[in-house]
Structure 1
Amino acid sequence: MPEIDPRFVEAIERLHKAQVQFVVVGGIALNLHGGAHLTKDIDFSFAPEDGNRERLAVTMNEMHAKPLGWPSYNPFSVTASQLSRVRFLNLKTDLGAIDLLPLPSGIDSFDGLWERANVMDLGGFSIRVASIDDLIAMKKAAGRPKDERHLMELYALKKIIAEEEEA
């Protein structure tokens, strides 16, 4: 397993233990596929069902999640209702920055993302990590300048994996 920030491993493990249905997307997903991308946050896509959103909200609150830029003296609590209305939510937590994306741009549905995701062992428990093809679709849809470098790395990883499978 590639080296990732232990705080992010703990965040993933907390979601797993809380039985949140999620897929790791973004830079950490790229790292888990073998990429060398440096990232300062972890991105999760999550199933839209009420119970799942409730488990996610409870877990985020246990990590003292607050929106980035939110004043520390103002109380804040993540709710399932908020999670049903957001396109994305950028949070600061005890375990670092966490971005929540119910349905990342470029993806057809959470169910599709879930089905296509790679199952990876993360030191005693398994998680779902967005497939390289879905990561490519997300990066293309985002269209940010930094995504061009990520796309080159994703295409290279895809080629290496295909060559390994042929051998």
Structure 2
Amino acid sequence: MSLSPIPKVLSTMRAHGVEALLMGGQACVLYGAAEFSRDADFAILASPENLGRLTGALAELQAEVIAVPPFEVHYLERGHAIHFRCKHPEAQGMRVDVMAHLRGVDPFPQLWARRTTWDLSEGFQVDSLALPDLVASKKTQRDKDWPMIRRLIEVSYDEGFSAPTPEQVAFWLRELRTPELLEECVRRFPHEARDVAQLRGAVAAALTDDADRIRDELAEEESRERNLDRQYWTR
């Protein structure tokens, strides 16, 4: 990230003490599921004090609103994203999007409590959504988000394969979208899988080695989430 304007944006948010959690493409990069993006997306706490700190950070970045809605708490509380473009020389052209509420994701205080904190090579830290929350935030109607969800969970499965925690196993069984890996995970953890199968059809199908049904269940999951996202944005 050192060859881009991203460090300036992240370090400025940190320096101003903004309670913000990196999400979107840049968070995917941190988790090892690379996604090129010149945007920095943040979930933020929409309290008066935190919005004041955010305003200071945006002023330093010389960031201006570039689209509707305007930067007002009313719109943040309704779940809208506010879009900014930076004019600071070290962050020239960088877009910053902030949201206070995400569909299908817990309220900010809970997200903050289980956040992931990264030590960056540039010498500062950045907070991001925890991986399960990042995955949940990407269950949208956008075509590009579903391959990224799959990739995020594949990376988690690969990295934790040799010594997984109970939390990781539960996460994989709930979220794996690669049929072959889901089948493998079910074979490795049959007891845990039987519990999850009561809630997830794809896991139930994997327990019976029904490859076609696994794919059908995964497609149904995606379709259901896409529809929920459409309904959310047309409410």
**Alignment partner, residue 7 of structure 1:** 5
Match of 1:66 among 59, 64, 67: 64
| Structure 1 gaps, min length 5 | 71-77
Map of 1:1-167 to 2, 5 A cutoff?
A: 3=1, 6-68=4-66, 82-86=72-76, 87-94=80-87, 95=91, 96-122=94-120, 123-140=122-139, 142-166=140-164
User: Higher helix share goes to which structure?
Assistant: 2
Contact persistence 2:12–2:61 (CA under 8 A): no
Letter in 2 for 1:65: A
Superposed CA RMSD: 2.2
User: Higher strand share goes to which structure?
Assistant: 1
Q: 1:61–1:152: structure 2 CA closer, same or farther, 3 Å change rule?
A: same
**Percent identity among equivalent residues?**
23
Structure showing greater radius of gyration is 2
Contact persistence 2:12–2:60 (CA under 8 A): no
Contact persistence 2:111–2:129 (CA under 8 A): yes
SS at match of 1:6: coil
SS at match of 2:156: helix
Q: Comparing both chains, which one has the higher relative contact order based on Cα–Cα distances under 8 Å and sequence gaps of 6 or more?
A: 1
The offset of 1:37, in angstroms, is 1.0
Q: After TM superposition, which residue ranges in structure 1, 4 or more long, deviate above 3 angstroms?
A: 3-6
- Between 8-17 and 98-107, report the one with greater CA deviation: 98-107
Q: TM-score, normalised by structure 2?
A: 0.60
| Structure 2 gaps, min length 5 | 165-235
Q: 1:121–1:84: structure 2 CA closer, same or farther, 3 Å change rule?
A: farther
